[in-house]
Amino acid sequence: MDKTVPDLAAAVAGITDGMSLMVGGFGGSGAPIELIHALIDQFKATGSPGRLTIINNNAGNGRVGIAAMIDAGMVEKMICSFPRSADPRAFTEKYLGGEIGLELVPQGTLAERIRAGGSGIPAFYTPTSYGTDLAAGKPIAEFEGRHYVQERWLKADAALIKAELADLLGNLTYRKAARNFSPLMAAAAKLTIVQASRIVAPGEIDPEHVITPGIFVDRIVEVADPQQEEALMRDGVAYA
């Protein structure tokens, strides 16, 4: 088995208008910049994919990555916990202009909804958001004398993930805190696309060290020395 694809364009092929897309990363840590930019390249060349729903903790920073997708006009809706950043102009301008939708989800609930989506669990109860505006309209239940809010699973048509090592079977490791949402998203998407800094033969990742088992991964592309959002911002890069 070999899940590698030859280049970034092949990696993001088949993502089409109106899809939901999970994007790994927390701020710039774990953001799959090259995969996102490959999708922007495809949009510039063909006008597709547009009307995307993007699921990420944030809503882009500066003019690169998710912010550049928003600038390019590819994004219809964000599902995130914290649509603010050092430079949130891309999202803020479109949001205040009514040009982009927002589903605001508490961070732990977002993580658990994605985990549930990848685990075949349609709903669960959490104390988070009970009694707040973000619980409006959701079923409430009492367990052991406390109130809990029912939340539903979150799944996606595709996920874009940044890993450190991948083997040909799709087993993954991550670098430091770049792991964050990625193992959850890899399981919750129908098509999981991974950029890895290095692709190795099966057996070269110690099974004890695998974080995301290859069963959750569909495509792998090697991106040595991946770009980091903070460095691109410091250099004033605007991708869209």
- Binding residues for another protein (CB under 8 A): 26-30, 57, 81-86, 88, 91-92, 95-96, 102, 104-112, 114-115, 126-134, 174-184, 211, 228-231
Instruction: Tell me which amino acid residue 191 is.
Output: L
**In the complex, minimum distance from the CB of residue 119 to another protein, in angstroms, rounded to a whole number:** 10
In sequence order, the β-bridge partners of residue 50 are none
**In the complex, minimum distance from the CB of residue 91 to another protein, in angstroms, rounded to a whole number:** 7
Q: Would you say 47 or 127 has its CB closer to another protein?
A: 127
Q: Would you say 6 or 120 has its CB closer to another protein?
A: 120
Q: Would you say 49 or 65 has its CB closer to another protein?
A: 65
**In the complex, minimum distance from the CB of residue 142 to another protein, in angstroms, rounded to a whole number:** 13
Q: Would you say 132 or 150 has its CB closer to another protein?
A: 132
**In the complex, minimum distance from the CB of residue 105 to another protein, in angstroms, rounded to a whole number:** 8
Q: Would you say 26 or 43 has its CB closer to another protein?
A: 26
Residues 6+ apart with CB under 8 A from 208: none
Q: Count other Cβ atoms within 10 Å, centred on residue 172.
A: 28
Nearest to 125, CA basis, from 133, 116, 186: 116
Three-class DSSP category at 235: coil
Nearest to 56, CA basis, from 38, 30, 74, 34: 30
Categorise residue 174: left if φ over 0, alpha if ψ from -120 to 50, beta otherwise.
Answer: beta
**In the complex, minimum distance from the CB of residue 170 to another protein, in angstroms, rounded to a whole number:** 17
**In the complex, minimum distance from the CB of residue 61 to another protein, in angstroms, rounded to a whole number:** 8
Q: Would you say 16 or 132 has its CB closer to another protein?
A: 132
Sign of torsion over alpha carbons 102, 193, 209, 223: negative
The C-alpha atoms of residue 193 and residue 4 are separated, in whole angstroms, by 10
Q: What is the DSSP pairing of strand 172-173 with strand 156-167?
A: antiparallel
